């Protein structure tokens, strides 16, 4: 009979026992295998983990520490087992560790949490340096629930902590820099509505200057809404610009931005704004430039306005006229320029002084400004000349009506410094065409102005087609005249002067003629004004002097016993020219003519204009023994008072007096008086424009010694003069 399995243990050779039941044996084997596998896995985890794990008793003595200690701190685990863990803690962190440990135990004993919150501290490496670690500490408890020690798990955060510290220092440096800026600087975050539309911004950060500028503290601004702090930004569109910057990232640069807010004093302020997008926010700096703006405005006003009257100056006038013409071409509306010149304003300055003259100009400027339309530009070119630009004219007659009204308004007396003054003005009106340019229109208005002056002043004149045709012809004449001298188209003809006592020629007047390309011979009065206005008269005048001197020398060689005086006309421009004396000397030297055979003629107006150059030229003429004649006497000042003070040899009575000398007693007495007075001064008299025998007879009767006119001869080419010199003309 077989016995049942016994549960008694079987004794092993080593003295240990095993359960005699096979099932029990199998269970134990499985347990051991499970434990071994768990140990193997645990060892794998411990050997390959990067975190640091350690166990301490309540005296902070290390009981066990993971091998990762070597990689992190350079210590071997066995070097630290049995040591006090807190000996590795940085002295500056020890108090924090102690405090957190005490709090952990207190909480555990009271049934609270058994683990600290994240703890960041520095531990000493084997080489003496420190490394930042972050982790947690848990209280370990036994089966009875009592604490048995501490378990710590820590991770290397050295690079992270140092990076954060560097970032903190960078931010501190940046904040310090921003706080030292004079200009306000802010960081703005967008505020969006339910549709994701930016409706406002909040202040995320500000510098001290931003707080000071707005008169608030940093706490007042941080978190505040932009529109609550600076509501005026809505008006100038800055909010939409900020929103666009957030969307596009394109930096915002705004110069001279107009802005007004209740936080600022009354009046408009100006700002320069610079803003960029940073991490979905706006970094913005601004600077108030109100003073700069005002200063620039003042400089602009000085550059574009007349300081005396406050009206626009020439620069502003030309710019506005250019804009008006461009706008007129687009809109089809007309543009007009009105040019005004005060009549005889020089008399005001000469008699009442320039201070009163300035007051008159200011009063006239005010009166003109009141008489024009609201949008018209009124400018002062200088002196007593004003210009008005009228744009967007549907009816060109409006410009004429304004011109007429201005002339009428300026007739009314002005009260200036207690003086009641009556002024009048001449005005020219020019209407732009589709092809008009700025200076064309200005020139046309100026031409119309001088037409008004020529017609008697105190009136307006419109630049019309007739005037345009005259100007066109004048410009063409100018272009043809410029090369005329080089082409040899100019020549001199000579009109004789007859001695009434002998009936012979004693002098001739050199008169300029132009063999025009058309084949016609132009008398001087047809082109001399153009020559004077363009300055061509200077070159032409020098040529005339040389030509006349050569001709006088030739005639003197032809008949040495009866030399012929040649009279040469000098314009006012020539008489006031510094180079006149040099031109005379060149003519005398090149021709070899006796200076006494050359006589220069000029008008009373040119003679009395005076000036240092004119006086010096007159003295040089006298010093060189040239004769001087006053031409057209009676059409200018017609005064005898200046004659004793001027080196005058001959007076030539103007032809206008000849027409009435035989019929008007007053004219006869005037001419007789001039002849008698001149005789007392040793000045000879020649009467011009003599065309009738009774005129010649009367002149002879009252003592005139020489005459010139068609009665005897018109101007003739030089080769005719020798033939005329052979003749004896009838005597009275």
CATH of the domain at 592: 3.20.20.450
Alpha helices in 49-112 (DSSP H): 68-73, 77-80, 91-109
Q: How large is the average pLDDT for residues 258-271?
A: 59
pLDDT at 21 over 70: no
Where do we find the tokens 């107006």? 605
∠ Cα 67 71 77 (to 5°): 30
List Cα–Cα distances, 464 to 434, 448, 683, 712, in angstroms: 15, 9, 48, 43
Helix (H, G, I), strand (E, B) or coil at 226: helix
Say whether both 334 and 392 belong to one domain.
yes
pLDDT, the chain, mean: 85
Say whether both 505 and 440 belong to one domain.
no
Say whether both 242 and 374 belong to one domain.
no
- Report the 3 state secondary structure along 338-358: EEEEECCHHHHHHHHCHHHHH
Say whether both 255 and 311 belong to one domain.
no
Task: Identify the CATH number of the domain in which residue 346 sits.
Answer: 3.30.70.270
pLDDT value, residue 361: 93
Say whether both 153 and 205 belong to one domain.
no
pLDDT band at 2 (very low <50, low <70, confident <90, very high): very low
Q: How large is the average pLDDT for residues 254-275?
A: 67
pLDDT value, residue 3: 41
Say whether both 425 and 535 belong to one domain.
no
Nearest residue to 515 (alpha-carbon basis) of 485, 538, 540, 535: 485
Cα dihedral 365/368/370/374 (nearest 10): -110
Say whether both 271 and 417 belong to one domain.
no
pLDDT value, residue 458: 94
Q: How large is the average pLDDT for residues 330-358?
A: 90
Nearest residue to 621 (alpha-carbon basis) of 670, 582, 589: 582
In a domain, 23, yes or no: no
pLDDT at 85 over 60: yes
Task: Identify the CATH number of the domain in which residue 116 sits.
Answer: 3.30.450.20
In a domain, 469, yes or no: no
Least confident of 38-52, 322-336, 356-370, 515-529: 38-52
How do residues 699-719 score in pLDDT, each as one tens digit?
999 999 999 999 999 999 999
pLDDT value, residue 229: 79
The DSSP code for 311 is: S
How do residues 165-199 score in pLDDT, each as one tens digit?
887 887 777 777 667 667 888 889 999 999 999 98
Residue 402, burial from CB neighbour count under 10 angstroms (0-12, 13-18, 19+):
buried
Range of the domain at 95: 51-161
More confident residue, 246 or 12: 246
Q: 56, 41 in Cβ contact below 8 A?
A: no
Q: 454, 448 in Cβ contact below 8 A?
A: no
pLDDT band at 68 (very low <50, low <70, confident <90, very high): confident
pLDDT at 421 over 90: no
Question: Dihedrals φ, ψ of 616, to 5°?
Answer: -65, -40
In a domain, 676, yes or no: yes
Count of structural domains, the chain: 4
Q: What percent of the chain has pLDDT over 70?
A: 88
pLDDT value, residue 550: 96
Q: Which residues pair with 420 in a beta bridge?
A: 415
Q: 303, 420 in Cβ contact below 8 A?
A: no
Q: Taking the CA of residue 621 as centre, how many other CA atoms within 13 Å lie in the half-sphere pointing to its CB?
A: 29
Global pTM exceeds 0.75 = no
In a domain, 691, yes or no: yes
Say whether both 313 and 288 belong to one domain.
no
In a domain, 167, yes or no: no
Where does a domain end: 397, 429, 463? Answer: 463
Least confident of 24-38, 428-442, 509-523, 581-595: 24-38
List Cα–Cα distances, 278 to 136, 238, 251, 402, 694, in angstroms: 36, 18, 10, 60, 107
List Cα–Cα distances, 423 to 137, 344, 409, in angstroms: 106, 8, 10
In a domain, 565, yes or no: yes
Residue 678, burial from CB neighbour count under 10 angstroms (0-12, 13-18, 19+):
buried
Say whether both 197 and 235 belong to one domain.
yes
Q: What percent of the chain has pLDDT over 90?
A: 45
Say whether both 511 and 635 belong to one domain.
yes
Where does a domain end: 293, 321, 349? Answer: 293
How do residues 422-456 score in pLDDT, each as one tens digit?
889 999 999 998 889 999 899 999 999 988 998 89
In a domain, 125, yes or no: yes
pLDDT at 4 over 50: no
pLDDT value, residue 7: 46
Where does a domain end: 246, 270, 293? Answer: 293
In a domain, 29, yes or no: no
Cα(first)–Cα(last) distance of the chain, in Å? 206
Say whether both 664 and 544 belong to one domain.
yes
Say whether both 663 and 612 belong to one domain.
yes
pLDDT band at 590 (very low <50, low <70, confident <90, very high): very high
């Amino acid at each position: 009979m077989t016995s049942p399995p016994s549960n008694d243990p079987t004794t092993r050779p080593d003295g240990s026992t095993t359960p005699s039941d096979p099932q029990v044996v199998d269970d134990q084997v499985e347990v051991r295998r499970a434990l071994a596998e768990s140990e193997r896995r645990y060892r794998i985890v411990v050997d390959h983990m990067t975190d640091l794990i350690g166990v301490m008793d309540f005296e902070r003595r290390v009981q066990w520490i993971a091998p990762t200690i070597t990689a992190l701190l350079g210590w071997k685990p066995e070097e630290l087992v049995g040591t006090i863990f807190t000996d590795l803690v940085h002295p500056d962190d020890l108090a924090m560790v102690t405090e957190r440990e005490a709090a952990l135990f207190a909480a555990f004993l009271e049934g609270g949490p058994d683990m600290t919150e994240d703890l960041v501290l520095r531990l000493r490496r084997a080489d003496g340096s420190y490394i930042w670690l972050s982790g947690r500490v848990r209280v370990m408890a036994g089966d009875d629930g009592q604490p048995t020690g501490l378990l710590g798990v820590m991770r290397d955060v050295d690079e992270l902590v140092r990076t954060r510290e560097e970032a903190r220092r960078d931010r501190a440096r940046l904040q310090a820099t921003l706080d030292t800026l004079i200009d306000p600087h802010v960081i703005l975050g967008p505020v969006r509505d339910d549709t994701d539309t930016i409706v406002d911004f909040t202040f995320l950060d500000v510098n001290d200057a931003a707080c000071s500028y707005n008169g608030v503290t940093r706490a007042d601004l941080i978190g505040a809404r932009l529109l609550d702090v600076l509501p005026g930004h809505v008006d100038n569109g800055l909010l939409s610009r900020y929103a666009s910057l957030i969307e596009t990232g394109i930096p915002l640069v705004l110069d001279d931005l107009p802005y007004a807010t209740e936080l600022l004093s009354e009046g408009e302020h100006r700002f320069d704004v610079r803003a960029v997008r940073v991490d979905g926010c706006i970094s913005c700096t601004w600077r108030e430039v109100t003073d700069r703006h005002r200063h620039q405005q003042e400089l602009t006003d000085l550059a574009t306005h007349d300081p005396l009257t406050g009206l626009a100056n020439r620069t502003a006038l030309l710019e506005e006229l250019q804009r008006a013409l461009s706008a007129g071409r687009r809109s089809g509306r007309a543009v007009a320029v009105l040019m005004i010149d005060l009549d005889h304003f020089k008399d005001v300055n000469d008699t009442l002084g320039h201070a009163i003259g300035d007051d008159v100009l200011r009063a006239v400027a005010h009166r003109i400004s009141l008489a024009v339309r609201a949008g018209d530009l009124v400018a002062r070119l200088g002196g007593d000349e004003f210009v008005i630009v009228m744009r967007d004219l549907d009816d060109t007659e409006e410009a004429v009506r304004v011109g007429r009204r201005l002339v009428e308004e300026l007739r009314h007396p002005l009260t200036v410094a207690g003086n009641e003054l009556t002024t009048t003005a001449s005005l020219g009106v020019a209407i732009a065409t589709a092809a008009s340019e700025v200076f064309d229109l200005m020139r046309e208005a100026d031409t119309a102005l001088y037409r008004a002056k020529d017609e008697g002043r105190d009136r307006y004149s419109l630049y019309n087609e007739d005037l345009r045709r005259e100007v066109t012809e004048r410009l063409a004449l100018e272009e043809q005249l410029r090369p005329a001298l080089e082409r040899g188209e100019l020549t001199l003809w000579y009109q004789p002067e007859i001695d009434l006592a002998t009936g012979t020629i004693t002098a001739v007047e050199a008169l300029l003629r132009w063999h025009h390309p058309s084949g016609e011979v132009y008398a001087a009065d047809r082109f001399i004004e153009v020559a004077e206005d363009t300055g061509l008269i200077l070159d032409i005048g020098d040529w005339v002097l040389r030509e006349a001197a050569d001709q006088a020398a030739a005639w003197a060689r032809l008949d040495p016993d009866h030399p012929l005086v040649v009279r040469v006309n000098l314009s006012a421009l020539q008489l006031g020219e510094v180079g006149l004396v040099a031109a005379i000397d060149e003519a005398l030297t090149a021709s070899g003519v006796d200076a006494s055979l050359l006589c220069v003629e000029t008008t009373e107006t040119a003679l009395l204009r005076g000036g240092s150059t004119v006086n010096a030229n007159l003295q040089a003429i006298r010093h060189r023994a040239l004769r001087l004649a006053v031409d057209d006497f009676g059409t200018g000042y017609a005064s005898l008072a200046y004659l004793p003070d001027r080196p005058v040899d001959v007076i030539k009575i103007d032809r206008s007096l000849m027409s009435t000398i035989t019929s008007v007693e007053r004219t006869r007495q005037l001419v007789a008086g001039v002849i008698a007075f001149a005789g007392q001064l040793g000045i000879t008299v020649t009467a011009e424009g003599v065309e009738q025998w009774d005129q010649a007879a009367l002149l002879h009767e009252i003592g005139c010694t020489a005459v010139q006119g068609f009665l005897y001869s018109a101007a003739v080419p030089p080769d005719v003069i020798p033939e005329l010199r052979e003749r004896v003309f009838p005597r009275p």
